[in-house]
Each structure stands twice: as structure tokens, then as C-alpha cells.
Amino acid sequence: MSEVILVGQEVPDFEMETYEPETGKFGTFSLKKAKDEGKWTILFFYPADFTFVCPTELADLAEVYPKLKELGAEVVSVSTDTKFVHLAWHRDEKLLENVKYPMGADPTGKISRMFGVYDEATGLALRGTFIISPEGKLVGSEVNFYNVGRNADELLRKMEANAYLIGHPDEACPAKWEPGKKTLKPSEELVGHVYEALNE
């Protein structure tokens, strides 16, 4: 079994087949291509097509997808279903009518295992969200069990913070940070005085 990628580590290049809702065609997602284009990559793993919580999550993600693209990110939803099942589900499930991002197929579980979300007992992926920088480093990781859906607004907030920090590496974003709010500049003077820095 290959090692699971941890936050802060480089993600090995990989490819996976996709269903592309914008064109109605099949395609391929390549991490190397995303890096070559200077894009962030957001992988959004979910258990299975034609289930119950999953379409609500993908619909929620579709609402923030345009903003994520503006930040230079490509989103790929991923399950262990095939690209053919993705096509059928997208065609049949009305909640998915606004989904425009690629839907990745991981039927062997190879990519799911790489990120530690593959459930050997079921052959399904847990609800995992992973943010990969344009350089290929894993900078964000969140994993939920099957029965708890995620909030795409929080994913957007995290992506906004990561996009800001790549241009301001000497700063840090405090809890609930949003664009326009104060950041922190770690230093000896800041130790024990974060309250003053945020409220001055």
C-alpha cells in the first residue's frame, strides 16, 4: 500500500478519467497539466453517485465554482464510480444541473488511497476535500464520514486565504479570515499580543 500524502508534502503527478459536464464529453484530468498552467487543484471526494447527501454537496460546490475558478483553481469531484456512471447521474439528477466542473472517475481507488480516503470495507471514498497549490504541495485537507455533508462556503474561504498567502508568504490568516480583514505577521513582538494586533 502506498503512503498517504500529508499536508505540506508534494503530491505525485497523477491522471484520471473524467466526465466533463460543460461539454458532455469524457476527458482526463492531469495534475501535471494543472501545475504547468499555474492552477490550484481542489479534489472533492465523495462516496458514490446516485446517493443522497452527495448530490446536495455537489450542488453546493457548483454555487461557488465560478469564484474558485476566479482564484485560479480547478475543481474535480471524485468518486469510485466510472465516467459512464457520472454521465448518467449528471443527466438524471436535477440537483446536478448547475455542476460544470470535471467529475473524476477513480474505479480502482488508486487516487482515493493516495489521499487516505479509500474505505477498504466498502470500496467507497469518504468525504475528503484537498487543496493542492500550483507548485503541487498539499496545503489543505478535510475528511468527513459518510453521513456529514460539507459547506462549500468554508472551502471558498480557505481557498481565498491560500490564494492570498501565496502572494504574502510572511503573513498568516487568523480564524474566520476573509478578504479585506486583518492578517498577522509572525514576529517576536507578536508573541502574546495577537489580540492587540487584531484590534489596533
| Domain range 15-167, its CATH number among 1.10.3720.10, 2.40.160.10, 3.40.50.300, 3.40.30.10 | 3.40.30.10
Helix, strand, coil percentages (3-state) for the chain, rounded to 5, are 30, 25, 45
CA distances (Å), 21 to each of 37, 91, 100, in order? 21, 9, 5
Q: What is the pLDDT of residue 50?
A: 97
Residues present in the chain in total? 200
Per-residue pLDDT of the chain (200 residues; tens, 9 = 90+): 458 999 999 999 999 999 999 999 999 999 999 999 999 999 999 999 999 999 999 999 999 999 999 999 999 999 999 999 999 999 999 999 999 999 999 999 999 999 999 999 999 999 999 999 999 999 999 999 999 999 999 999 999 999 999 999 999 999 999 999 999 999 998 999 998 989 98
Residues 175 and 84: their CA atoms lie apart, in Å, by 41
Task: Supply the residues annotated as catalytic.
Answer: 54
Per-residue confidence (pLDDT) for residue 2, from 0 to 100: 59
Instruction: Report the pLDDT value the prediction gives residue 200, as an integer from 0 to 100.
Output: 82
Q: What is the pTM of this model?
A: 0.94
- Category of 176 on φ-ψ map: left (φ > 0), alpha (ψ -120 to 50) or beta: left
Q: Where are the domains of the chain?
A: 15-167, 169-200
Mention every residue, 6+ apart, whose C-beta is less than 8 A from residue 93: 50, 55
